[in-house]
Amino acid sequence: MMTSTKRCSHWLLAATITTLLAGCTHTVVREHHVSLEPPEARQTWLGNQAALALDAQPDPDGFALLANGQAAFAVRAGLIRQAQQTLDIQTYLLGDGQTTRLVLSKLIEAAEQGVRVRLLVDDIGATGQGGRLAALSSHPAIHVRVYNPLSVGRGHLVPRVLASVVNPTQQHRRMHNKLWVADNSVAIVGGRNLGDEYFDANDARNFADLDLITIGEVVPTLSDSFDLYWNHGLAQPIERYHQVDANAWLSLKMELTDWLDNNADSDYFTELRRQPRSAPPWEALHWGKGIALWDAPGKVAHSGTPDWQSTLMGDLTAATTLNERLILISAYFVPTERGVERLVELAQQGVEVDIITNSLEATDVAMVHGAYAPWRQALLESGVALYELRPEQESSSSVDRGEMRVPGASASALHIKAIRYDDQLFVGSFNADPRSVFWNTEVGVLARSESLLQAFNELVAVGQKPSISYRVVLADNGKLNWQFEREGQLEVLTKEPGSVWRHFNAWLSHTLRLERWL
């Protein structure tokens, strides 16, 4: 009887796991798509606006920074509305919130007006969203693909993690790129995924993030990168994993419309409606020269550790010089021993080095902090300046597009990925950690523009304010101190702020030597 019961229990357990992981693929024609040709792009409204702005300038590219989350979302919503031919969107994560629902609704509207929409999502980021994305993709003008997909464990993160155990090496590597291109005329690169927390739309917790809008010669190059990923064998149509009715998009459209109608009076949507509807997606542009940089789309398919010089980091290093100034803003800063050696070497050579990252209190991944924290002593001793974003920031009556702050949220975290190399600025999806160097694919733009650099410096100055970030310093006794400002008064902490649980996770990461995988 006991043996029979055990066998039954084992069978039920096996059946449950099989059900959780169950999945299959369906035969779907995978078409080859390419971006809008530049001559055609110029005939669109956005293309014409970009051409008019560029014709008056000697430089080939124009740039604008977007630090304010609401403004960043308004620009994206505007691009969907203003595009006339094509919309290409590449993202790592696709959350389910008011901003994503509005984006999906507007994408359907754009498709009904004849705009071809291509949405490329990393497969991890699409977990649990397969049915909705397949419904979206049922529209004849909308195409959705997932990158580096698994055919099993797609409904929830738990079975997805279980399914990943079969091939952990492959599933550890992800497409981390974030890119928007409208009519091959205007592009956005930066750190923002699709989700409320990236656009100051989450009541509990938001990210301080940064986008770079660009027009000019760099845009078709960014479109080339999108085409390479879109047509790569790792990008698979969502319909291969989720079957829906041929006109499922009509039901999705009705569902989204009803939800948006019921939430039309939200403060966020009310503010969004105040944005100008016929203006180009920039207020002012900084002029200069941009270089689009990205990892090869097949990077995630290779076994073993790639040569760093063959990655985006290698291209970035080859395209820049460092003699005077390095400013590194990274949500996840894992310098590693070699990186610390290089930063110390730069500081000793007279390069002014500033690093802004998350504090233990603010980070959404405490284990990453555990791989950074042990290096602070050596960095500070060499003269590197360290700033750590605080989770709670003092409120401000005026919030500028160029401010590194998160208004209205009870907690915030840094999500910016930007690096200043002397007179050049890189903005993209790349964090200063081994994951971005070796395991994920990334994209960004390296720009040389004097006025853009000045705007970035102003952003950095805001982020370094003691009302927003801790300044980590060495006390006379050689211990770390955290300087900050509360209600106008300077204060100093002699112990690192953060809960016991966060400290434990940071300690565990360091103890288990997980640095290489973070």
Q: Give the length of the chain.
A: 518
Which of 61, 122, 183, 200 is an active site residue? 183
In order, the DSSP letters of 250-297 are: HHHHHHHHHHHHHTTTSHHHHHHHTS-SSS-S-S--EEEEEEEEE--G
The answer for residues whose C-beta is within 8 angstroms of residue 458's C-beta and 6 or more apart is 402
Whether 122 sits among the annotated catalytic residues: the reply is no
The answer to whether 417 is a known catalytic residue is yes
Partners of 189 in the beta sheet?
Answer: 179, 212
Q: Among residues 178, 242, 286, 369, which one is catalytic?
A: 178
Q: In sequence order, which ranges of 43-124 are alpha helices (DSSP H)? A: 45-55, 69-82, 98-112
Of residues 422, 423, 465, 510, which has the active-site annotation?
422
d(CA 93, CA 194): 6
Give the 3-state secondary structure of residue 216: strand
465 is catalytic: no
How far apart CA 469 and CA 488 sit, in angstroms, is 14
Q: Residue 183 catalytic?
A: yes
Give the residues across from 143 on adjacent strands.
118
| Contact partners, residue 513, CB within 8 Å, separation at least 6 | none
Q: Which residue, 146, 123, 119, 329, is CA-closest to 238?
A: 146
The CA distance from 129 to 157, in Å, is 11
Q: Are 98 and 196 in contact (CB under 8 A)?
A: yes
Name beta bridge partners: 355.
Answer: 328, 386
| Residue among 288, 292, 303 nearest 455 (CA) | 288
Q: Which of 139, 299, 415, 503 is catalytic?
A: 415
Based on DSSP, count helices (H) and strands (E) in the chain, helices before strands.
18, 20
Q: Which tokens is 105 given?
A: 């609704």
Longest dimension (CA), the chain: 87
From 139, 143, 176, 299, the catalytic residue? 176
Work out the burial of residue 516: count CB atoms within 10 Å of its CB; fewer than 13 is exposed, 13-18 middle, 19 or more buried.
middle
Which of these is catalytic: 232, 369, 417, 503? 417
Which residue numbers are catalytic? 176, 178, 183, 415, 417, 422
